[in-house]
Amino acid sequence: MDKAKLCLVGCGKNAGNHMRHLQDFHDIEVAGFCDTQQERAEAFARQYGGRAYAHVCAMYDAEKPDMVFIVVPPFCHGDIEFETIRRGIPMFVEKPVSNDLGQALEIACRVKESGLITAAGFQCRYSGFNAAVQSFISRHPIAMISGSRVGKVPPMPWWRERSKSGGQIVEQAIHQLDLLRFLIGEPETVYSVARQGIVGPDEYPGYDIDDLSATVVTFKNGVVATFTAGVYALGGEAWDSTMLLGARDARVEYNLLSHAAVYGPGEGQRETHHAANDPARDCARAFVDAVLSGDGSAILSPYKDAVKSLAFALATTESVETGVPVRVDSLYQ
């Protein structure tokens, strides 16, 4: 395949982030944009070329794409993916791949049956400094991890509703949970507690998610992690997207999509590894290259693997609801 025809489903802010990269890929033709609010698809078509549609099937019928990017909120997944698989179109699905694990598992099953190339939008896996962190971990076994993601409530109205976004960990902090799986290994159990009452529907109509949560994770290789998340901050009170990975003789301070600083062994020693690449671009590029070549081996987060990160995130919400630890793999085995 010399040049692939690409369509995009969902024309919100994140779709614009993807188009910043896709418009520079000279081996694809961006042919169609689809959004239930057709005026948004029309705005994308005016800016990037191609044609606008309000219905996925109409776009697929007219354009017959070689690949599709599905960039929709968590509660909108399902029918789009099933139709895409039915037509045999390779798909890139933005994270989280759903807020419904049963639905995601069914999609994963159909992907396996179809043999389609898939990818999920876990761009942090593509950070250029991950290799240095993985090398560190191989030489300095990690004992404990502390992670956090605390900020303000995002502006999208659907984000504030649990039934639509799944809450902060499912929709946002899942990036860090996925990265822990990628760097450390599979989680075994999670135990989470949460708090409400700091932020309320008087500030944000429809708000019913947790204001903050704290989670303890045990990994199958013995590593223990703590993770705090919150959306209660008004601004400077936030501390966002960091993880500390501690070994006996050294530690790594990992800042998502920015850099990783290695401290030790020894007092005062520090080595900083910066991101020399654009992980979001490389994430999209890996999928496009896979479709063009027919070889998906370089994709770091295929759909099936992304479902495990969704299970990890949903295990935290189940633990909050039940008050007991949840075994992660019991959710998808």
Per-residue pLDDT tens digits for 35-57: 999 999 999 999 999 999 999 99
Tell me the sheet residues that pair with 243: 147, 254
Query: Residue 246 sits in a domain of what CATH number?
Result: 3.30.360.10
Q: Tell me the pLDDT tens digit for each residue of 165-216.
A: 999 999 999 999 999 999 999 999 999 999 999 998 899 999 999 999 999 9
Cα 43 from Cα 154, distance rounded (Å): 23
Structural domains in the chain (count) = 2
Provide the β-strand partners of residue 9: 34, 70
Output the average pLDDT for the chain: 95
* Host domain of residue 178: 125-277+311-331
Instruction: Tell me, yes or no, whether 55 and 71 share the same domain.
Output: yes
- 171 and 315 in a single domain? The answer is yes
Specify whether 153 is located in the same domain as 21.
Answer: no
Looking at the fold, whether 189 and 84 belong to one and the same domain comes out as no
pLDDT of residue 238: 67
Same domain, 118 and 185: no
Per-residue pLDDT at 7 exceeds 60: yes
The reply to whether 327 and 206 lie within a common domain is yes
Residue 268 has a pLDDT of 67
> What mean pLDDT is predicted for residues 62-66?
98
Residues 268, 154 share a domain: yes
Judge if 87 and 129 occupy the same domain. no
- Check which CATH number belongs to the domain holding 83 and give it: 3.40.50.720
Between helix 79-86 and helix 56-63 the angle, nearest 10°, is 20
- Whether 156 and 104 map to the same domain: the answer is no
